Amino acid sequence: MTTLEVRTRQRIETIDITGLVQEAVEPDTDGICVVYTPHTTTAIAINEGADPDVAHDIERNLAALFPKKGDYRHVEGNSDAHLKSILIGPSETIPVEGGKLLLGQWQSIYFCEFDGPRRRRVFVRTQAET
Ligand code: ZN
C-alpha cells in the first residue's frame, strides 16, 4: 500500500491526484485500485478533469447545499465539512489493467478538502486478480 501526503492550502479545495495514484499502482497488474482517505472532512471523487470549471462548480454548489453556518449542533463548527464528506464519500475503486488505471478520457481522481488547510493522507492499494 502507498500513502500519499496531500497538503491542502484552502478551506475548500479540489486537488487532482490522478498522476499520484497512477504512480502508486503496482506495475503490470490486472485488478482493482482502491483510493481511500481516512479523514471525516475530506472525500475522494472521480469526475471531469479537463475543464477546471467543473471542480469550481462542484465546490460552489456543495457550499450552497451545505453552508458554513446552518442548523448544526456539532460544537467543532465544521458540520458543513462533515456533510460534504459524507455525501461524496471516502473512497473510489478503479479497475486496473496492465498497471494502468482504466479511467475514461475525461475522468480525473479528485482529493476533496472541506476543512483545510491541513496535512492529509490518501491510501492507495492495488489488489491483483488471483
Ligand atoms: Zn468536526
d(CA 64, CA 86): 16
The mean of the pLDDT values for the chain is 97
Say how many domains are in the chain: 1
Q: What is the pLDDT of residue 107?
A: 97
Q: What is the pLDDT of residue 57?
A: 96
**Proportion of the chain above pLDDT 90, given as a percent:** 98
Q: What is the pLDDT of residue 12?
A: 96
Closest CA to 79 of 68, 95, 90, 94: 68
pLDDT at 130 exceeding the cut of 90: no
pLDDT at 66 exceeding the cut of 90: yes
80 Cα to the center of ligand 1, angstroms: 9
- Looking only at the bridges linking them, the beta strands covering 91-97 and 42-48 are unpaired
> For residue range 69-126, what is the model confidence (pLDDT) as tens digits?
999 999 999 999 999 999 999 999 999 999 999 999 999 999 999 999 999 999 999 9
Q: How confident is the model at residue 20 (pLDDT cuts 50, 70, 90)?
A: very high
77 Cα to the center of ligand 1, angstroms: 7
92 Cα to the center of ligand 1, angstroms: 23
83 Cα to the center of ligand 1, angstroms: 10
Q: What is the pLDDT of residue 73?
A: 97
94 Cα to the center of ligand 1, angstroms: 29
Residue 10: CA count within 13 A, CB half-sphere: 7
Q: Looking at residue 92, which CATH number applies to its domain?
A: 2.60.120.460
Structural domain of 44: 2-128
64 Cα to the center of ligand 1, angstroms: 19
Q: Evaluate if pTM is beyond 0.75.
A: yes
Please name the residues in contact with 83: beta carbons below 8 A apart, sequence gap of 6 or more: 66
33 Cα to the center of ligand 1, angstroms: 29
d(CA 45, CA 87): 10
C-alpha cell at 90: 471516502
90 Cα to the center of ligand 1, angstroms: 15
d(CA 88, CA 39): 13
